[in-house]
Amino acid sequence: MKQHSAIKVTVAALGVVLFLSHCQQQQTGTTSPEERPAIFPKGELGPAENFTGQAWNTGLVPNDSVFNTVVGNVYFEPGARSNWHRHPAGQILVITDGEGYHQLKGQPRQTLKKGDVVKCPPNVTHWHGASPAKGMQQLYIIPNTEKGIVEWLEPVTNEEYRESK
């Protein structure tokens, strides 16, 4: 009977240790690929003519005539953002870490956090990027690439980036 109670106490203690370890991981809230094991490679630095600050892109699913879809991962360092741009068939963003912004032209800026999913409608001008204090990581999905992939436009000004309306 004493051995059975000792096993229960040991299992309970292990559970507490695992729970506290999980809580500690949650509190650290890492947002930089350098601070945690990366799911995807960091990729290539996005071109300065399309991004303000540093944004790193890695392609995951290349375009082809079977799936007609492009999928990739972007990590925006704090303060980094895309230029205004649009996609002929739209775009889906899945925020996998950090905090940032997204804005459709003429609409208020939205704050994005881990777990958010955004649909950018076809041919609607928009931008997205990290908050000033935290980086943001996102998966992007561009469907129906036979219609085209992206049209890059002008940079997002500092005023546009800071405005929440």
Tell me, yes or no, whether 5 and 80 share the same domain. Answer: no
Half-sphere exposure of residue 106: CA atoms within 13 angstroms, side-chain side: 2
Tell me, yes or no, whether 18 and 80 share the same domain. Answer: no
Tell me, yes or no, whether 43 and 69 share the same domain. Answer: yes
Residues of the chain with pLDDT under 50: 3-31, 33
Distance CA 86, CA 51 (A): 14
Give the count of domains, the chain. 2
Tell me, yes or no, whether 47 and 113 share the same domain. Answer: yes
Q: Which pLDDT does position 35 carry in this prediction?
A: 56
Domain carrying residue 14: 1-30
Tell me, yes or no, whether 86 and 59 share the same domain. Answer: yes
Tell me, yes or no, whether 26 and 45 share the same domain. Answer: no
What are the E-state strand segments in 48-164?
Answer: 51-52, 55-61, 70-76, 81-82, 85-86, 91-104, 110-113, 117-120, 126-130, 136-142, 151-152
Q: Which pLDDT does position 132 carry in this prediction?
A: 97
Q: Which pLDDT does position 165 carry in this prediction?
A: 61
Tell me, yes or no, whether 12 and 58 share the same domain. Answer: no
Q: Which pLDDT does position 9 carry in this prediction?
A: 35
Q: Which pLDDT does position 164 carry in this prediction?
A: 75
Tell me the CATH number at 101: 2.60.120.10
Q: What are 100-148's pLDDT values in tens digits?
A: 999 999 999 999 999 999 999 999 999 999 999 999 999 999 999 999 9
Q: Which pLDDT does position 14 carry in this prediction?
A: 33
Tell me, yes or no, whether 11 and 77 share the same domain. Answer: no
